[in-house]
Amino acid sequence: MEFIKDDDGDYYNEPVSPTGQCLNTSVLSMSVLGVLESEVPIDESKIMSFLQDVFLHINPRFCSIMVDVDGEKQWKKVEVKLTDHVHVPIFPSGVLPPESYDLYLGDYISKVVLEKYPEDKPLWEVHIIKYPTSTAAGNLIFKLHHALGDGYSFMSAFLSCLQRADDPSLPLTFPSRRGSERKGIDNYYKSALRWVSQKLTSAFYAVKDLGWSAFVEDDRTPIRSGNSGVEFLPMDISSLIFSLDEIKLIKNKLNVTINDVTCGIVFFATRLYMQEIINNNQKSSSAASCRALVLVNTRITHGDYKPVKQMIGPNSEMPWGNRIAFMPVSMPNLTEISNPLDFVFEAQKRIKRKRSSFSVYFYNKLFEIVNKLRGHEAASRYMHNRLMKSSLMISNMIGPVEKIALADHPIKGVYFMVLGIPQDIIITIVSYMGDLRISFGTQKGFIDPQKFKSCLKNAFEMILEVTDKIPIQTKASL
């Protein structure tokens, strides 16, 4: 291992944040796996040049390792050899159909998911898949440890070095997540009363949430085995693509957000899957307690990503790093719902209540106190305990509207997965080029990915079918 100096002649030295330390312990080790589906065969030399000339310069952490300095974890810059981080697997050659390479790619990703990082190397790796699959001419897989940053940081990093495929001189644009708002003059008269009511409601639900989340553990169900160590078991990663225009149609007709719609679809699909497994095997109960941890960005954003240069530094308004929180949201069961749209409305209501509650702020502060008094290993156990008590996690990101290109490789599709979560199923959502892609990582042998995919498709189609019968509201009707 060789430490290197920065331009000023000093060794790069930055304390690892409490959250960064917590996410890289013997108890909990989380990563983000990002997959870029290339439209053209991958040129390995161009990717290597991109990594050497662009990627390594995005953030000093990509060239640093964690070391102990006087009892504290710090980032220390080291010499990076790309050959230690870039892997180009060899699959069986010959004239094979793309569907065969789909299986090889799936098996390879399952292997990558479980591999540990070398302790003496920066916490990232890239896998170049040169074989054509049914969805791409080649695949680029980036595995980044969560201690390096969160999804917002990584997305900002990649967008800073990617270009529009149609015209590199033009900026990327992003879809809006805002729901349509009904405005009227009485809104202004009632604003003061609403503010007081919201604060009182927030305080009430905060007390309720604190007692509920601290002690309650979800039931064992077809999506939650309740076993320890599930994060170390093999995982299948599958995905399903929906039209963003159809998602927006549902959003606009129901006067909700895209997040409300997608969470409603996931909640509905999960319950449909549970019911189907229960009916077939007569196990558990369709009304079992089931919570989703919705991962939220705690930065104050307005949808757009900031350039990386604006995120690095102690005085940044949108700092690089891990600014995340977990909101436990109970999923309604089928016996409570008479209309598929109610899953969307319930998702909106329950997530909005959680966002307005002080409980998320309280748990973040509690994490800081545990870390300060008992150390990052104890803080990591605290976070791990919260994660394993719930049934699944939902994480979502906004992607660009236009097609992007990386090192002259136009990208057809994008998806990601969060790794190291002590849950049997993990849901991620990303928008790109007019599509919304829902991906799910499931424990091999416990959850049937094809059956769950079918339930996702059915849930979306049922919600869309009922929505189509609702007349479009005009401004006059609002």
State residue 459's pLDDT score. 97
Find the range with the poorest average confidence among 9-18, 79-88, 367-376, 447-456: 9-18
Both 141 and 216 in one domain: the answer is no
Q: Does residue 343 have a pLDDT over 90?
A: yes
The domain total for the chain is: 2
pLDDT in tens, 160-191: 889 999 999 998 888 865 544 434 434 433 44
Confidence of residue 278 (pLDDT cuts 50, 70, 90): confident
Q: Does residue 417 have a pLDDT over 90?
A: yes
The answer on 303 and 360 residing in a single domain is yes
Q: Is 149 contained in some domain?
A: yes
Kindly state the average pLDDT of the residues 301-316.
72
Contact 166, 402 (CB under 8 A): yes
Assessment of whether the complete model's pTM goes beyond 0.85? yes
Assess if residue 171 is contained within a domain: no
Between CA 466 and CA 478 the distance in angstroms is: 20
Question: Which residues make beta-bridge pairs with 235?
Answer: 443
- Mean pLDDT across 202-216: 53
- Segment 409-423 shows an average pLDDT of 96
> Which domain does 266 fall in, by range?
185-403+420-468
Quick: pLDDT tens for 76-132: 999 999 999 999 999 998 778 989 999 999 999 999 999 999 989 999 999 999 999
pLDDT on residue 303: 57
Q: Tell me the CATH number at 42.
A: 3.30.559.10
Average pLDDT for 236-265 = 96
Residues 155 and 196 in one domain: no
Give domain status of residue 176, yes or no. Answer: no
Cα dihedral 196, 200, 201, 202 in deg (nearest 10)? 100
Residues 136 and 203 placed together within one structural domain of the fold: no
| Whether residue 356 sits in one domain with residue 325 | yes
Burial environment of residue 172 by CB neighbours within 10 A (0 to 12, 13 to 18, 19 or more): middle
- Of 131, 164, 197, the domain-final residue: 164
Distance, in Å, from the CA atom of 51 to the CA atom of 47, rounded to the nearest integer, reads 6
- For residues 343 and 455, membership in a common domain is answered with yes
The mean of the pLDDT values for the chain is: 85
Please state the separation of Cα 121 from the chain's center in Å. Answer: 25
Maximum distance among all alpha carbons in the chain? 73
More confident residue, 182 or 351: 351
Residues 195 and 121 in one domain: no
- Residue at 414 is within a domain: no
> Is 279 domain-assigned?
yes
Residues contacting residue 451 through CB under 8 Å, at least 6 positions apart: 273, 276, 277
Lowest mean pLDDT among 85-99, 275-289, 374-388, 459-473: 275-289
Asked whether residue 85 falls in the same domain as residue 229, the answer is no
CB 468 within 8 A of CB 260: no
pLDDT computed for residue 83 by the predictor = 95
Tokens 């967008």 correspond to what residue? 159
Q: What is the CATH number of the domain that holds 218?
A: 3.30.559.30
Q: 234 lies in a domain?
A: yes
User: What percentage of the chain exceeds 90 in pLDDT?
Assistant: 61
Residues 224 and 152 in one domain: no
pLDDT digits (tens, 9 = 90+) for 391-413: 999 999 999 999 999 999 999 99
| Confidence band, pLDDT 50/70/90 cuts, at residue 12 | low
Give the residue-averaged pLDDT of 124-142. 97
- The arithmetic mean of pLDDT across residues 324-337, rounded, is 87
For residue 326, which of 271, 364, 377 has the smallest C-alpha distance? 364
Nearest to 1 by CA among 59, 73, 83, 80: 80
Same domain, 264 and 141: no
CB 86 within 8 A of CB 48: yes
Of 116, 132, 164, which one is at a domain's C-terminal end? 164
Is residue 3 assigned to a domain? no
Whether residue 174 is contained in a domain is answered as no
Does residue 386 surpass a pLDDT of 70? yes
The answer to whether residues 334 and 382 belong to one domain is yes
Q: Do 152 and 241 have their domain in common?
A: no
